[in-house]
Amino acid sequence: MTRNPTELLGVAMADIALVLLAGVLLTPLFLRLRQLRVIAEIAAGIALGPSLLGLLPGHLPDRLFPPEVRPRLQAVTQVGILLFMFLVGWLMRASHFRSGRGTVLGVSLSSVAVPLLSGAALALGLHHDHDFADGHPVGRTTFALFVGTAMAVTAFPVLARIIDERGLGSADAGAVALASAAVSDVLAWFLLAVVSIVAASAGPGRLLRIVCGATALAAVLAFVVRPLLRLLVGWAGRRGDRSTQVLVVAAGVLLCGFAADQIGLDAIFGAFAFGLAMPRDEAEQTQADIRMPMEHVAALPLPVFFITTGLSVDVTKLGGQGALELAAVCATACAGKVLGAGGAARLGGMSWADARTVGLLMNTRGLTELVVLNTGRSMGVLDDRMYTVLVVMALVTTAMAGPLMPRPGPPEAAPPPPRTAPAWASPPPQSSRRSPRAHSSPHPDQKESID
In a domain, 236, yes or no: yes
In a domain, 383, yes or no: yes
The pTM (predicted TM-score) of the whole model is 0.82
In a domain, 450, yes or no: no
- Provide the domain count of the chain: 1
CB neighbour burial string for 67-105, b if at least 16 within 10 angstroms, e if fewer: eebbebbeebbbbbbbbbbbbbbbbbbebbeebbeebbb
In a domain, 36, yes or no: no
| CATH code, domain carrying 148 | 1.20.1530.20
Print pLDDT tens along the chain (451 aa): 567 888 889 999 999 999 999 999 999 999 998 888 889 999 999 999 999 999 999 899 999 999 999 999 999 999 999 999 998 888 777 665 555 567 888 999 999 999 999 999 999 999 999 999 988 899 999 999 999 999 999 988 888 888 887 777 767 888 889 889 888 888 888 888 888 887 776 667 777 888 899 999 999 999 999 999 888 877 877 777 778 888 889 999 999 999 999 998 889 999 999 998 988 765 566 667 788 888 888 888 889 999 999 999 999 999 999 999 999 999 999 999 999 999 999 998 899 999 999 999 999 998 899 999 999 998 899 999 999 999 999 999 999 988 887 665 554 444 554 444 433 334 444 444 444 433 444 443 443 434 4
DSSP 296-365: HHHHTTHHHHHHHHHTT--GGG-HHHHHHHHHHHHHHHHHHHHHHHHHHHHHTT--HHHHHHHHHHHT--
- Give which of 153, 92, 84 is closest to 295, Cα–Cα: 84
How distant is the alpha carbon of residue 441 from its chain centre?
Answer: 34
In a domain, 118, yes or no: yes
Q: For residue 423, with 0-12 CB atoms within 10 Å meaning exposed, 13-18 middle and 19 or more buried, which class applies?
A: exposed
In a domain, 15, yes or no: no
Q: Which domain holds residue 290?
A: 78-305+316-404
Phi, psi (degrees; rounded to nearest 5) at 389? -60, -45
In a domain, 379, yes or no: yes
In a domain, 112, yes or no: yes
